[in-house]
C-alpha cells in the first residue's frame, strides 16, 4: 500500500507559509511545516518558501543551517522545490538596494532588480514554459500569481554533457524577461507563488508531487 508522499516545508521563519502547506495537501501530499532536521532530510520532497528580501532570507536560512540541509538533499538526488525568494537564493548572489549577498550557488548568476517602469511585478501573468517541462504539463497556457521586484534575468550555465539540460521557463515583464521557473534534475523552483495561483498552481504542485513517489506502509 502506498501513502501520500511526505513533503517537508522548511520552517526557518520566512513569513506566513501555511498557505503553501494547505496547497501541497490539496495537491496530494502529506505536507508538514517543520524545522526537524531528520524529517527534512528523509522526506520525499522538500519545499523552500521565501518571503521578503534576498539578504534576510539567506541570513535566516543560514541561522537554521537550512542551506546545509538543502545541499545534503541535492547531493543525494532528493527533490527540492524553491518558491519565490526560495528560488532566488539558489543562485550565486542577489543584488538588492546596494547589498550584494552570497546565495547558495546551486545555479550560477545573479538575482537583480527587474528592468521595468512599474515595480513590483504583481498579479497574474502567463509564462513561456520550457519544452518538456514536467511542472507545466497540462497548464502551459495558464496564468500564475507573481509578486516580486527582483529576479534572475540571465541563465549563464553552460551545457554539461552528458547531463540533461535544465528546463527553463520565462516570463516577459518590462524590458528584460526573467526566469519564472527552472527544472534541473532534483532541484526545481518557481518565481511565482503556486499556492496563490488557484487551480493552475495546485496542478503544478501535483505535477511536482507526482515525481516524488509514495511511502510504503
Distance between start and end Cα atoms, the chain? 6
pLDDT at 216: 34
Cα 174 to its chain centre, rounded Å, is: 22
pLDDT at 2: 53
pLDDT at 161: 65
**Neighbouring-strand partners of residue 125:** 144
pLDDT at 191: 98
Catalytic residues: 84, 193, 195
pLDDT at 73: 98
Tens-binned pLDDT, residue by residue, of the chain (217 aa): 358 999 999 999 877 789 999 999 999 999 999 999 999 999 999 999 998 999 999 999 999 999 999 999 999 999 999 999 999 999 999 999 889 999 999 999 999 999 999 999 999 999 999 999 999 999 999 999 999 999 999 998 877 766 789 999 999 999 999 999 999 999 999 999 999 999 999 999 999 999 996 543 2
pLDDT at 29: 98
Cα 106 to its chain centre, rounded Å, is: 12
CB 7 within 8 A of CB 31: yes
Distance between CA atoms of residues 95 and 117, nearest Å: 18
pTM for this prediction:
0.95
pLDDT at 1: 34
Amino acid at each position: 500500500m502506498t501513502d501520500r508522499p511526505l513533503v517537508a516545508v522548511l520552517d526557518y521563519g520566512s513569513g506566513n507559509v501555511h498557505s503553501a502547506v494547505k496547497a501541497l495537501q490539496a495537491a496530494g501530499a502529506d505536507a508538514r511545516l517543520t524545522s526537524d532536521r531528520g524529517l527534512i532530510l528523509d522526506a520525499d520532497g522538500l519545499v523552500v518558501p521565501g518571503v521578503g528580501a534576498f539578504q534576510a532570507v539567506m541570513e535566516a536560512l543560514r541561522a537554521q543551517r537550512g542551506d546545509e540541509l538543502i545541499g545534503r538533499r541535492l547531493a543525494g538526488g532528493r527533490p527540492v522545490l524553491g518558491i519565490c525568494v526560495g528560488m532566488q537564493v539558489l543562485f550565486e548572489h542577489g543584488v538588492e538596494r546596494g547589498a550584494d549577498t552570497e546565495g547558495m550557488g546551486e545555479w550560477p548568476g545573479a538575482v537583480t532588480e527587474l528592468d521595468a517602469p512599474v515595480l513590483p511585478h504583481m498579479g497574474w501573468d502567463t509564462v513561456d514554459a520550457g519544452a518538456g517541462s514536467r511542472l507545466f504539463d497540462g497548464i502551459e497556457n495558464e496564468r500564475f500569481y507573481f509578486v516580486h521586484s527582483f529576479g534572475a534575468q540571465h541563465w549563464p550555465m553552460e551545457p554539461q554533457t552528458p547531463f540533461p539540460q535544465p528546463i527553463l521557463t520565462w516570463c516577459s515583464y518590462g524590458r528584460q524577461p526573467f526566469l519564472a521557473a527552472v527544472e534541473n534534475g532534483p532541484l526545481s523552483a518557481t518565481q511565482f507563488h503556486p499556492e496563490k495561483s488557484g487551480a493552475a498552481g495546485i496542478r503544478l504542485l501535483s505535477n511536482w508531487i507526482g515525481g516524488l513517489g509514495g511511502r510504503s506502509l
